[in-house]
Amino acid sequence: MVGVLGGTPATETHAFYSTLVNSTANSFSAGTLNIGDNLAAGTTLSMANLVAGDSFDAQLDIANSGSLNLLYSMTSSVSGSGVLADTLQLTIRAKTSNPCSARDGTSLYAGSLASAALGDPSHGAQPGDRTVSAGNTDSLCFTVALPTSATSTVAAQSLSATFVFLAEQS
Amino acid sequence: MKLLLLATIATGLLATAAGRGTMAYFTTQVTSTGDQFSAGNLHFNINDNNESAGGLTTVASSITLSNMKPGDSVYAPITVTNVGTLDAQYGVKYAATGGASDLTPQLQIALVGKGSGAGANTDCKSSSFTDTTKWNEQVAPSLATLAASHTFVASNSAVAPITDGAWVASDTTAGAYLVLNHSGAATLSSDTLCVEVTFPDGGAPGSLTTGDNAFNAASAGTWSTTLVFTIDGQQRHHPVEFDQPTAPTTGNY
């Protein structure tokens, strides 16, 4: 008689109805953020033996080769002649359908080469930051000029400028 | 011989006395008929935003987001319906499977249920996780790091909720189960869960390879994870009671 009573609770447990439904294939994957340019450093944007009144134009393509939209900023640094850096004038424009020599794009920066910058490299979107959607390219036109007002203090001076493009997700 | 005869006479007298007593008893009888027993059934169906057909026991891609970047969040409702004839208690759990590179530890998850709240499925959004009016079952409203597997609520919990369809603080610590009444019930035969998955923004990385940049692979999707949510239920215990007897108007005493 004891054995019969002991077996009863176990039987009830197994007799429970149960059911189950699933939500499957809920997937999450990270994108990529990559920025590139089409310039070999130190080649296209170099010029020598400048005289007052000289200027030149060069195109710089900023490519978004990642899967995420990005925004980027630009900072610069110069080494060499500080006087020349303060004297050389840089204008950065958004390229239009015309070649950069047309100088008809929206001006993004105009000032001395020494303080050239676009946007703000701080985290998040700031005024001046440029946006490039995934797979697209932002073409910039750089115009560097040695003004006619340049004095002899820049004669025989030289400098090297480095432009750094820092991108983040937009 | 004399002795044997006396014994026989005594027995006969006793038998006669007993027979008279039995015939003097009153007897009566009533009967309860039609006491039927039939097996119920317990079945859940599930639906989500992209699969709303009836009768589904599995849905896919209820909540997905590809090409994620730090700061991204995605929200999705998952609706479970009791189509059986028995009241049920249910639980919720998930299992995560990492991809080529496992994104699981970088993601966070939160989950609330509508329960007896007034929320519509379209209310599944960021504010749902603090809206206790529309989303009564605040099961796990705060974002927590995604684990390889986790049980939000155990279906076999022995702890009943304080109030069916609502979640109170003490339920959280007690691990009370969730409730789905049978398909013919006026309330709580269907419940909607609102799920959030977030890739938190870790701020500006210190370098191109540290911080969130560690998950910025050469190609999209290298870092990934896949979740399977399971909603399992079991019958909810109800004591079986006979109908209450009515007081007799006449009777034998």
* Cα B108 to Cα B91: distance, rounded to the nearest angstrom: 20
Using an 8 Å CB-CB cutoff, list residues of chain A that contact chain B. 16-34, 66-68, 122-123, 168-169
Instruction: Count how many domains chain A has.
Output: 1
Task: Give residue-wise pLDDT tens across range A92-110.
Answer: 999 999 999 999 999 999 9
Query: Has residue A106 been placed in a domain?
Result: yes
Q: Which domain holds residue B169?
A: 44-202+223-235
pLDDT at A6 over 90: no
- Residue among B242, B118, B71 at smallest CA distance from A33: B71
pTM (two decimals): 0.78
Q: Which domain holds residue A107?
A: 37-169
Query: Has residue B102 been placed in a domain?
Result: yes
Nearest CB to B61 within list A25, A122, A168: A25
A&B contacts, CB < 8 Å: 156
Task: Give residue-wise pLDDT tens across range A16-66.
Answer: 778 888 888 888 888 888 887 665 444 457 777 888 888 888 888 888 988
Residue B157 CB contacts under 8 Å (≥ 6 apart), including other chains = B89, B91, B175, B176, B177
Q: How many CA atoms lie within 13 A of A137 on its CB side?
A: 12
Query: Has residue B164 been placed in a domain?
Result: yes
Query: Has residue A114 been placed in a domain?
Result: yes
pLDDT at B245 over 70: no
Best mutation target among A13, A23, A64, A166 (most B Cβ atoms within 10 Å) is A23
The whole-chain average pLDDT of chain B stands at 83
Partners of residue B88 in chain A, C-beta under 8 Å? 19
Query: Has residue A5 been placed in a domain?
Result: no
Query: Has residue A139 been placed in a domain?
Result: yes
ipTM of this model? 0.73
Partners of residue A23 in chain B, C-beta under 8 Å? 46, 48, 58-60, 62-63, 78, 228-231
Query: Has residue A112 been placed in a domain?
Result: yes
DSSP-assigned letters across all residues of chain A: -HHHHHHHHHHHHHT--EEEEEEEEEEEEE----EEES--TTTTT---S--TT-EEEEEEEEEE-SSS-EEEEEEEEEEE-HHHHHHSEEEEEE--SS-GGG--SPEEEEEEGGG--BS--SSS--TT-EEE-TT-EEEEEEEEE--TT--GGGTT--EEEEEEEEEEE-
Query: Has residue A155 been placed in a domain?
Result: yes
Neighbour count for residue B22 (Cβ, 10 Å): 7
Q: Are A31 and B234 inside 8 Å of each other by CB?
A: no
Query: Has residue A19 been placed in a domain?
Result: no
Instruction: Count how many domains chain B has.
Output: 1
